[in-house]
Every structure is written in structure tokens, then in C-alpha cells.
Amino acid sequence: MLLRHTPKEVADRKALTINPAKTCQPIGAMYAALGVHGCLPHSHGSQGCCSYHRSALTRHYKDPIMAGTSSFTEGSSVFGGQSNLLAALTNMFTIYNPDLVAIHSTCLSETIGDDLAQIVKKATDDGKVPEGKKVIYCNTPSYVGSHITGFSNMCCGIVKGLVEHTGVAKDQVNILPGWVEPSDMKEMKRIAKDMGIKFVMFPDTDGVVDTPQTGKFEMYPAGGAKIEDIATAGDSIKTLACGSWASEDAAKLLDGNFKVPYEVLDIPVGLSATDRYVQALASAAKISIPASFITERGRLVDVISDMSQYLYGKKVAIFGDPDQLIPLTEFLLDLDMIPTHIVSGTPGKRFEKKIKELCAEKAPNVNVKNGERADMFLMHQWIKNEPVDLLIGNTYGKYIARDEDIPFVRYGFPIVDRIGHSYFPTVGYNGGIRLLEKMLGAIMDKIDRDAPETKFELVM
């Protein structure tokens, strides 16, 4: 019993978070920055923060994550980090030659009140940004929000710093994929490409954090959205913003600054959300949906109907990021499963209301909470009071899964004890089959393990 001190009785906590279901803002900012080709993310704070952000991403992606740090010491912590950042910019452009440096703040530099806009302007005025190179920035105070807030803030930084408006309309759609895996971004692009749609996707970590082993270290891998392509996003016909938490603010900026209308969609997880993604692409580009997508969709529907006896009525607990939990809840309902406990450490945007609306008909008693006190401790307590048949979430769920003997599917960020997420998408119709396969595998492994000899079946 790893979590033997978790009591069953749920007490109202005003100020204590135990095992949060989220992580730190700059990790999201760093991940978003890596989605621009030739970008070196930079953490304006202490070395310890930067090491943590890099290691969190490296553990999840099993790839080296490069980033700079302002390396605050006692002096910069008291007097501010301007001189450190100016020196860092000179060093980074001289030694590592990035096309772009994407700066995010940390708790420390935010508390001091360092003004990133002013420091970047000074660096530019002082000639510390070489000709043709760019510096963007965003504020990521980690005592509010979560890694998703940081991701969203850097998406806004990308729009503010890289998008231009030439006035010449381009027949293309902006796709803001939200915080998903590189495999998911690849699949979202594949769907748009197969529909014959021109698009600009950013951030795009496909080919950046899932790089092949070639025996040669590449400081800037081949993938990522190209700066010159992002620059054209101000001339696009529409923005599809996947995930309200991660992408909506950047889409609003594109609309406000460049008059590119936007539509906020769910990340295309599961059947219904993928239907809406495909339909939104078709509507934005004014084309009809190719027949090949009817086939793709049909395969997912076929798996659902073939295996429904193992899914029907099963109670599921899920935790993670709101942009993923909302379409995942909808997918579970489409599968006739019962979302039972739902927790996200990321605050805001009427998450609980949205989930309750989705579950009103089929799972009206769902427990749902987001924000600071929506933590893994609460999730464990809820499960103790109402056990579930399946737990879905990041690696931190393995403690609860082990203690309560629940089949567990790793999904979300971070996954630090399994591989696959970088390479096999869980978005789109094909991704829906992958997700379903993982869920069925976990459930059926338990059936096999627990079946008495008389009920142990070869064919399931």
C-alpha cells in the first residue's frame, strides 16, 4: 500500500494541495517553443527551474531537450535579472546560433518583477539580436495556472512575435493543435493533408521531440513549424483552435490583430470530437469530406461495436488536462462507459459545468473538480468511496492503480514509465482505435488474471 495514509473521508480543504494534477507553467511554454523550427527556449530564472523543466520534458519524450537559462544567483534575485538575460542572449546567439530564442519567465523573475518586454527591447536596441534572428517572450508565473496556461501563453508569444499581416489573403487554415503529442500533431496534419487542405500548424513538435537516432546530435532537429510559415498565419482564411485552454487565447489574438476569424474546437480525441475536427476543416476550406474518411471512421465504429460488451457500463476515473479530458469524457460516453470521477489541476473556464453538461444524461452523478484542490489525493479518496473499473491519466496514477487494483491506461502528460505516446497518436479515428485498444487491453488483462480456471476464455 503505497498511499496507505489516504483516508476515505473527504474533508473540505481550503489551502492544501496534495499531489497536484498539473505541473509548472514554464514546462508548457518550453514545449510550445520547441514547436518552432530552429528555436532555443530560454528560462529566465534560476538554473534549478530550467533543469526541472528540461528533465520533465526529457523524461516524457525520451529525447534531449535543449534550453538556455538566465542562471539567477543571489544578486540577480535581489536586483533583477536583466544583465543575466542580456549576457545569455549574446552567448546563445554566438555559441548555439538559433533562429529564434523564446523566453519565458519563472516564479522568481515574476516575483522580482522583471519586465521581459523592456529587456528584449534593450537587447534589440543594443544590437544583441543578430540580423535575421528573432526573440519572443511570454510571462509564465507558475503560482497561477498550470503547464497548460504556460503553453497557451507561449502560443500567444508566438503570435505576437512571429505572425505578420501582408494584406494578401492566403488560401490556408491555421491549425493550433493544443498540447498534444508529436504523434498527434502528425496525425492532425495527415488528416488535413489527406483532405487536400493547405494549412499552417503551430506549435508543431513533430520531428523535434521524437527524433530518430542517426548517430549525430542535431541541436535543432528537422521538425517544427517554420518561422516563415508562421509569419503567414495573419493572412489565413480561418483559425481552428483545438482546446480552449491551450489554443483559444492565441486564436483570439490572431483575430484581434490580423482579423483572422477563429473557431474553438475540442482536441479530436474519440469519435465525436474527430467528426467535428474533420467537419470544421472541410467547412473552413469549403470542400467536401473525402470518402476515405468514411472508411477510417467506419473502422473505429466497427471496433466499438465489436467490443462493446467489455465497455458497456464500466465506471472510469480520468485525470489530466482539461482540453483532453473534455473530449475523452465524450468518447467514454459514446462507448457507453460511465465517467465517474474527473479531476484536473488546471483551473478555470467552467470546466466542471462543461463536464456536467456532457454527462447530464448518461452519467448524472459524475464527480468533477478542477483547480488547485483538484488533486490526486482527492481522486484517490473519491475512488475509495466509489470504486471504478478503469483509471486513465498520466504516470502519477500508477500509485492509485496499484493500491486499488484498477486497470490503468497511461494518457496525458507526463508519461515517464512507458513509451509509445510520441509515436502512436490518440487523436483522429485511427487514434481512437489506439486509445480503445489500450483501454480494452487493460480491462481484458484483468479479466484474464482474475478469471477462475472454469471461466478462463481463449477467445474474447
Part in contact with ligand SF4 (CB under 6 A); list of ranges 34-42, 44-52, 154-162, 393-401: 44-52
**Residue 432 identity:** G
Q: Which residues have C-beta within 8 Å of that of residue 455, sequence separation ≥ 6?
A: none
Asked if 49 is part of the footprint of ligand SF4 (rule: CB under 6 A), the reply reads yes
Among 21, 24, 120, 250, binds ligand SF4 (CB under 6 A): 24
CB of 208 to ligand SF4, least distance (A): 22
Strand order through the sheet with 408-410 = 367-370, 338-344, 315-319, 390-393, 408-410
d(CA 446, CA 442): 7
Interacting positions 189-208 with ligand SF4 (CB under 6 A): none
Size of interface with ligand SF4, in residues (CB under 6 A): 8
Nearer to ligand SF4, 56 or 328 (CB): 56
Q: Which is nearer to ligand SF4, 72 or 277 (CB)?
A: 72
b/e map 20-53, b = 16+ CB within 10 Å: bbbbbbbbbbbbbbbbbbbbbbbbbbbeebbebb
Contacting residue, 3, 17, 18, 52, with ligand SF4 by CB under 6 A:
52
Stretch that binds ligand SF4, among 45-53, 167-175, 351-359, 424-432 (CB under 6 A): 45-53
Which residues within the stretch 104-163 sit at the binding site for ligand SF4 (CB under 6 A)? 106-107, 142
Query: From the CB of 47, what's the least distance to ligand SF4, in Å?
Result: 10
**CB of 371: closest distance to ligand SF4 in angstroms?**
16
Helix (H) or strand (E) holding 311, with range, is helix 308-311
C-beta of 140 vs 367, nearer to ligand SF4: 140
Q: Is 26 in the site for ligand SF4 (CB under 6 A)?
A: yes
Residues 263-322 that bind ligand SF4 (CB under 6 A): none
3-class SS of residue 183: helix
Interface with ligand SF4, residue 17, by CB under 6 A: no
d(CA 308, CA 55): 40
CA 264 to CA 200: how far, in whole Å?
16
Round to whole Å and give the CA distance between 434 and 206: 18
Contact set with ligand SF4 (CB under 6 A)? 24, 26, 45, 49, 52, 106-107, 142
